Amino acid sequence: MNVNAQPSSGLAIPFDHHRLDRLMDAAGIDVIVATSKHNAQYLLGGHRADFFDYMDATGISRYLPVLIYVKGAPEKAAYIGHRLEGFQTGNTPLWTPETQTVSAGSADAMQKAVAYMAKAGLKPKRIAAEFGFLPYDAANVLRAAFPEAEWVDALYVLERQRAKKSPDELAKLKIASEAVLAAMQATIAQSAPGTTKAEVTETLRREETKRGLTFEYCLITAGTSLNRAPSAQRWEQGDIMSIDSGGNYHGYIGDICRMAIQGEPDAELVDLLAELETIQRAAMSPIKAGAPGSVIYAAGEPLRARSRHHNHLDFLAHGMGMVSHEAPRLTDHGPVPYPADYADLPLEAGMVVSVETTLLHPVRGFIKLEDTVVVTDTGHEIYGEGLRGWNKAGGAL
């Protein structure tokens, strides 16, 4: 992430804290208490507890990172981490002036956080906490410490902060997207007729892992089935396959979908995928800084509606980054329910949008393209551009 040093304090702050201060001021927030692993990682410039990377449960409680950020006063920021994080911070110190790696559970971490806030003389009138990532026992501790304070959800301020990616974040997203694409290519090439969906998924996991990614998921179909879970279903000669996978690179998700086939596609399959490609290109075409987020749907949705397959076609655009379906949120009609808060706001350079068109064909099966698109000052850039046609299985790498 970009380092934005504050001259008055000399702190090397790994995010645009002036932007965060403005967002907090507009929302009337005095203090943010971040407790999700992704927001703690973002605000700390990449730090994430090795021991709790995947599993949070420990003993009779759970791991809870607590990052305290005070509006306009980064010199009062603090991080409360688990005792095992001390080995990491000993090697790579964090920017926060107060760093405590001494906690052993969720309530314990919050107790130490409120003790620090009291020591620092903080008396916030409005606290932003991550409601969806704050355990009940920790929430009780925080509420008891500030009974007169008003609470708001930190989600909206923090997602708006993260929506505009730094060059370093974009570099990670590009690496992730291109590595997922390369892993898909290698996986398709290795998959002979009769390979099961579960075997394809396992091959993809290995290919993503050896390219430095953390494998997150693979939504996969074969033949005419619309079932997208790995299974013992075999990918036979003549069958199509959709592979939709997310691979994580240092906290940032590469998420694309491409199509493959055992054999040669017939004319109808070529035409169907070409139609999806046309919708994708049309939807991505108007993406640029300053354009309202709604231009993506304005360009893609009419083509979907006019298609003779419109009853089986879905079109979706959503934000991408550390979280799938993060800001910018452009529709309130998608599979993940949320308000379209960004549809009428201008796109900013550095925002990242996943654009996807899906055909659930009642005869031919599941056909989909999904692309990761970065907003630039002059237009847009696609990460992981290749393999857009019918990729033939079992060929040479």
Structural domain contains residue 397? no
pLDDT tens for each residue of 283-336: 999 999 999 999 999 999 999 999 999 999 999 999 999 999 999 999 999 888
Q: Are residues 158 and 199 in the same domain?
A: no
Domain boundary among 133, 162, 191: 162
List the domain range (segments joined by +) for residue 238: 167-392
Q: Are residues 154 and 198 in the same domain?
A: no
CATH number (domain holding residue 200): 3.90.230.10
Q: Are residues 67 and 192 in the same domain?
A: no
Structural domain contains residue 331? yes
Q: Are residues 207 and 243 in the same domain?
A: yes
Q: Are residues 334 and 320 in the same domain?
A: yes
Q: Check pLDDT > 90 for residue 112.
A: yes
Q: Are residues 148 and 229 in the same domain?
A: no
Q: 191 vs 8, which has greater pLDDT? A: 191
Q: Are residues 19 and 79 in the same domain?
A: yes
Q: Are residues 230 and 375 in the same domain?
A: yes
Q: Are residues 106 and 196 in the same domain?
A: no
Q: Are 366 and 358 in contact (CB under 8 A)?
A: yes
Rounded distance between C-alpha atoms, residue 69 and residue 90, angstroms: 22
pLDDT tens for each residue of 73-93: 999 999 999 999 999 999 999
Q: What is the pLDDT of residue 1?
A: 34
Structural domain contains residue 60? yes
Q: Name the pTM for this structure.
A: 0.93
Structural domain contains residue 237? yes
Q: Are residues 83 and 216 in the same domain?
A: no
Rounded distance between C-alpha atoms, residue 222 and residue 234, angstroms: 7
Q: Are residues 182 and 67 in the same domain?
A: no
Rounded distance between C-alpha atoms, residue 176 and residue 58, angstroms: 30
Domain boundary among 128, 147, 162: 162
Q: Are residues 255 and 141 in the same domain?
A: no
Q: Check pLDDT > 60 for residue 395.
A: no
